[in-house]
Amino acid sequence: MREPESRKTAKAVQEPNKRRKAASQEHVTRRKILDAASDLFRDKGYASTTLRQIADAAGMQAGSVYYHFESKDAIVSEILDLGITYVFDEVKRRVEKLGPGAEPKARLEVAIDGHLSGLLSHESFLSANIRNYGQLPEDLRKKNVPLRRAYVGYWDALLLEAQKAGAIRADLDLKILRLFTIGSLNWTVEWHKPDKGSIEELSMQIKSILFDGISPVG
Protein backbone atom coordinates (compact mmCIF):
# COMPACT_ATOMS: atom_id res chain seq x y z
CA MET A 1 0.00 0.00 0.00
CA ARG A 2 2.77 2.43 0.91
CA GLU A 3 5.01 2.99 -2.10
CA PRO A 4 8.65 4.00 -1.91
CA GLU A 5 8.28 7.62 -2.93
CA SER A 6 11.88 8.21 -3.95
CA ARG A 7 11.91 5.47 -6.56
CA LYS A 8 8.39 6.17 -7.76
CA THR A 9 9.08 9.77 -8.67
CA ALA A 10 12.56 9.18 -10.07
CA LYS A 11 11.71 8.60 -13.71
CA ALA A 12 8.09 9.62 -13.64
CA VAL A 13 7.93 11.54 -16.90
CA GLN A 14 9.72 9.44 -19.47
CA GLU A 15 8.80 5.99 -20.75
CA PRO A 16 5.31 5.74 -19.29
CA ASN A 17 4.76 2.22 -20.64
CA LYS A 18 7.93 0.70 -19.39
CA ARG A 19 7.51 2.42 -16.08
CA ARG A 20 4.01 1.14 -15.64
CA LYS A 21 5.07 -2.40 -16.33
CA ALA A 22 7.98 -2.12 -13.92
CA ALA A 23 5.75 -0.65 -11.24
CA SER A 24 3.27 -3.47 -11.69
CA GLN A 25 6.07 -6.00 -11.44
CA GLU A 26 7.30 -4.26 -8.34
CA HIS A 27 3.83 -4.48 -6.88
CA VAL A 28 3.73 -8.21 -7.57
CA THR A 29 7.07 -8.79 -5.88
CA ARG A 30 6.16 -6.68 -2.87
CA ARG A 31 2.98 -8.66 -2.59
CA LYS A 32 4.87 -11.96 -2.71
CA ILE A 33 7.06 -10.78 0.13
CA LEU A 34 4.10 -9.62 2.20
CA ASP A 35 2.23 -12.88 1.64
CA ALA A 36 5.24 -14.98 2.52
CA ALA A 37 6.03 -12.88 5.56
CA SER A 38 2.48 -12.91 6.93
CA ASP A 39 2.37 -16.71 6.73
CA LEU A 40 5.66 -16.95 8.59
CA PHE A 41 4.78 -14.28 11.15
CA ARG A 42 1.56 -16.10 11.89
CA ASP A 43 3.19 -19.52 12.23
CA LYS A 44 6.48 -18.74 13.92
CA GLY A 45 6.09 -15.21 15.18
CA TYR A 46 7.83 -12.04 14.12
CA ALA A 47 11.04 -12.52 16.07
CA SER A 48 11.51 -16.16 15.08
CA THR A 49 11.06 -15.45 11.40
CA THR A 50 14.27 -14.64 9.56
CA LEU A 51 14.65 -12.52 6.48
CA ARG A 52 16.24 -15.50 4.80
CA GLN A 53 13.05 -17.48 5.37
CA ILE A 54 10.88 -14.69 4.03
CA ALA A 55 13.11 -14.31 0.98
CA ASP A 56 13.16 -18.05 0.42
CA ALA A 57 9.36 -18.32 0.56
CA ALA A 58 9.10 -15.36 -1.82
CA GLY A 59 11.58 -16.96 -4.23
CA MET A 60 14.59 -14.68 -3.81
CA GLN A 61 17.71 -14.08 -1.74
CA ALA A 62 17.72 -12.23 1.57
CA GLY A 63 19.58 -9.21 0.23
CA SER A 64 17.00 -8.71 -2.52
CA VAL A 65 14.21 -8.08 -0.06
CA TYR A 66 15.89 -4.81 0.90
CA TYR A 67 15.22 -3.41 -2.53
CA HIS A 68 11.49 -3.53 -1.70
CA PHE A 69 11.47 -2.88 2.04
CA GLU A 70 13.90 -0.89 4.09
CA SER A 71 13.77 -3.28 7.04
CA LYS A 72 12.05 -6.27 8.60
CA ASP A 73 10.12 -3.81 10.74
CA ALA A 74 8.76 -2.11 7.63
CA ILE A 75 7.36 -5.44 6.42
CA VAL A 76 5.49 -6.23 9.61
CA SER A 77 4.28 -2.65 9.88
CA GLU A 78 2.67 -2.83 6.46
CA ILE A 79 1.12 -6.20 7.31
CA LEU A 80 -0.44 -4.76 10.47
CA ASP A 81 -2.00 -1.85 8.61
CA LEU A 82 -3.18 -3.98 5.70
CA GLY A 83 -4.90 -6.41 8.07
CA ILE A 84 -6.99 -3.76 9.81
CA THR A 85 -7.77 -2.13 6.47
CA TYR A 86 -9.13 -5.36 4.98
CA VAL A 87 -11.53 -5.88 7.87
CA PHE A 88 -12.53 -2.24 8.26
CA ASP A 89 -13.25 -1.86 4.54
CA GLU A 90 -15.38 -4.96 4.45
CA VAL A 91 -17.41 -3.89 7.49
CA LYS A 92 -17.97 -0.37 6.13
CA ARG A 93 -18.87 -1.71 2.71
CA ARG A 94 -21.61 -3.95 4.10
CA VAL A 95 -22.99 -1.41 6.55
CA GLU A 96 -23.13 1.34 3.95
CA LYS A 97 -24.75 -1.00 1.46
CA LEU A 98 -27.76 -1.14 3.79
CA GLY A 99 -28.39 2.55 3.24
CA PRO A 100 -28.84 5.38 5.73
CA GLY A 101 -32.27 4.37 6.98
CA ALA A 102 -31.38 0.84 8.03
CA GLU A 103 -32.24 -0.62 11.43
CA PRO A 104 -29.37 -0.45 13.93
CA LYS A 105 -29.68 -4.15 14.62
CA ALA A 106 -29.36 -4.97 10.93
CA ARG A 107 -26.29 -2.75 10.72
CA LEU A 108 -24.76 -4.61 13.65
CA GLU A 109 -25.50 -7.94 12.02
CA VAL A 110 -23.79 -7.08 8.78
CA ALA A 111 -20.88 -5.59 10.71
CA ILE A 112 -20.36 -9.00 12.33
CA ASP A 113 -20.62 -10.66 8.94
CA GLY A 114 -18.13 -8.20 7.50
CA HIS A 115 -15.67 -8.52 10.33
CA LEU A 116 -15.67 -12.31 10.11
CA SER A 117 -15.48 -12.25 6.34
CA GLY A 118 -12.61 -9.76 6.19
CA LEU A 119 -10.82 -11.61 8.96
CA LEU A 120 -11.07 -15.11 7.56
CA SER A 121 -10.66 -14.14 3.90
CA HIS A 122 -7.27 -12.60 4.73
CA GLU A 123 -6.56 -14.98 7.52
CA SER A 124 -2.78 -14.93 7.39
CA PHE A 125 -2.61 -11.12 7.58
CA LEU A 126 -5.09 -10.91 10.41
CA SER A 127 -3.69 -13.85 12.28
CA ALA A 128 -0.21 -12.37 11.98
CA ASN A 129 -1.61 -9.11 13.29
CA ILE A 130 -3.58 -10.59 16.19
CA ARG A 131 -0.83 -12.94 17.28
CA ASN A 132 2.08 -10.52 17.06
CA TYR A 133 0.69 -7.09 17.80
CA GLY A 134 0.83 -7.29 21.59
CA GLN A 135 4.44 -8.44 21.59
CA LEU A 136 5.93 -6.00 19.11
CA PRO A 137 8.12 -3.09 20.22
CA GLU A 138 6.13 -0.01 21.12
CA ASP A 139 7.21 2.11 18.15
CA LEU A 140 5.88 -0.52 15.76
CA ARG A 141 2.59 -0.83 17.63
CA LYS A 142 2.16 2.93 17.69
CA LYS A 143 2.13 3.19 13.92
CA ASN A 144 -0.82 0.79 13.80
CA VAL A 145 -2.76 2.54 16.57
CA PRO A 146 -4.58 5.23 14.51
CA LEU A 147 -6.17 2.62 12.24
CA ARG A 148 -7.10 0.46 15.23
CA ARG A 149 -8.65 3.38 17.04
CA ALA A 150 -10.67 4.38 14.01
CA TYR A 151 -11.97 0.84 13.68
CA VAL A 152 -13.05 0.40 17.30
CA GLY A 153 -14.56 3.89 17.14
CA TYR A 154 -16.73 2.70 14.26
CA TRP A 155 -17.88 -0.26 16.36
CA ASP A 156 -18.58 1.87 19.39
CA ALA A 157 -20.85 4.04 17.26
CA LEU A 158 -22.67 1.00 15.87
CA LEU A 159 -23.19 -0.44 19.35
CA LEU A 160 -24.31 2.85 20.85
CA GLU A 161 -26.93 3.49 18.19
CA ALA A 162 -28.16 -0.09 18.59
CA GLN A 163 -28.50 0.28 22.35
CA LYS A 164 -30.27 3.65 21.97
CA ALA A 165 -32.66 2.06 19.51
CA GLY A 166 -33.45 -0.70 21.99
CA ALA A 167 -31.72 -3.46 20.05
CA ILE A 168 -29.21 -4.06 22.85
CA ARG A 169 -30.17 -4.50 26.51
CA ALA A 170 -29.79 -1.26 28.43
CA ASP A 171 -27.99 -2.96 31.34
CA LEU A 172 -24.98 -4.03 29.26
CA ASP A 173 -21.70 -2.13 29.44
CA LEU A 174 -20.92 -1.23 25.84
CA LYS A 175 -17.16 -1.13 26.35
CA ILE A 176 -17.15 -4.68 27.68
CA LEU A 177 -19.58 -5.71 24.97
CA ARG A 178 -17.33 -4.32 22.23
CA LEU A 179 -14.23 -5.97 23.65
CA PHE A 180 -16.06 -9.23 24.15
CA THR A 181 -17.60 -9.21 20.68
CA ILE A 182 -14.54 -8.26 18.65
CA GLY A 183 -12.42 -10.55 20.80
CA SER A 184 -14.63 -13.55 20.26
CA LEU A 185 -14.75 -12.85 16.53
CA ASN A 186 -10.98 -12.40 16.32
CA TRP A 187 -10.39 -15.67 18.12
CA THR A 188 -12.03 -17.55 15.26
CA VAL A 189 -8.75 -17.27 13.33
CA GLU A 190 -7.36 -19.74 15.87
CA TRP A 191 -9.87 -22.46 15.16
CA HIS A 192 -11.97 -21.87 12.05
CA LYS A 193 -11.25 -24.43 9.35
CA PRO A 194 -12.63 -23.40 5.95
CA ASP A 195 -13.38 -27.02 5.05
CA LYS A 196 -15.58 -27.48 8.12
CA GLY A 197 -18.16 -24.93 7.03
CA SER A 198 -18.57 -21.60 5.28
CA ILE A 199 -17.88 -18.23 6.86
CA GLU A 200 -21.56 -17.37 6.41
CA GLU A 201 -22.68 -20.40 8.42
CA LEU A 202 -20.17 -19.61 11.15
CA SER A 203 -21.36 -16.02 11.28
CA MET A 204 -24.96 -17.17 11.64
CA GLN A 205 -24.10 -19.41 14.60
CA ILE A 206 -22.12 -16.67 16.30
CA LYS A 207 -24.79 -14.03 15.74
CA SER A 208 -27.34 -16.43 17.13
CA ILE A 209 -25.30 -16.96 20.31
CA LEU A 210 -24.52 -13.28 20.63
CA PHE A 211 -28.04 -11.91 20.12
CA ASP A 212 -30.15 -14.60 21.72
CA GLY A 213 -27.81 -16.42 24.08
CA ILE A 214 -27.31 -20.12 24.58
CA SER A 215 -30.28 -20.65 26.92
CA PRO A 216 -33.47 -22.07 25.35
CA VAL A 217 -36.76 -20.18 25.00
CA GLY A 218 -34.96 -16.75 24.89
When binding is defined by CB under 8 A, the residue of 29, 53, 121, 186 that contacts a second copy is 186
Picked from a second copy, DNA, none, the partner binding residue 1 (CB below 5 to 8 A depending on kind) is none
What is the phi-psi region of residue 159: left when phi exceeds 0, alpha when psi lies from -120 to 50, beta otherwise? Answer: alpha
Picked from DNA, a second copy, none, the partner binding residue 142 (CB below 5 to 8 A depending on kind) is none
Note the residues at the interface with DNA (CB under 7 A).
22-23, 25-26, 29, 49-52, 55, 60-64, 66-68, 70-73
Minimum distance of DNA from residue 73's CB (angstroms): 6
Q: Which of residues 62-91 bind a second copy (CB under 8 A)?
A: none
Residue 46 or 151: the one with the smaller Cβ distance to a second copy is 46
When binding is defined by CB under 8 A, the residue of 166, 194, 198, 200 that contacts a second copy is 166
| 45 scored as a contact of a second copy (CB under 8 A) | yes
Residue 62 or 179: the one with the smaller Cβ distance to a second copy is 179
| 184 scored as a contact of a second copy (CB under 8 A) | yes
In the complex, the residues that contact a second copy under the rule CB under 8 A are: 42-48, 105, 131-132, 134-135, 166-173, 176-177, 179-180, 183-184, 186-188, 190-191, 202, 205-206, 208-216, 218
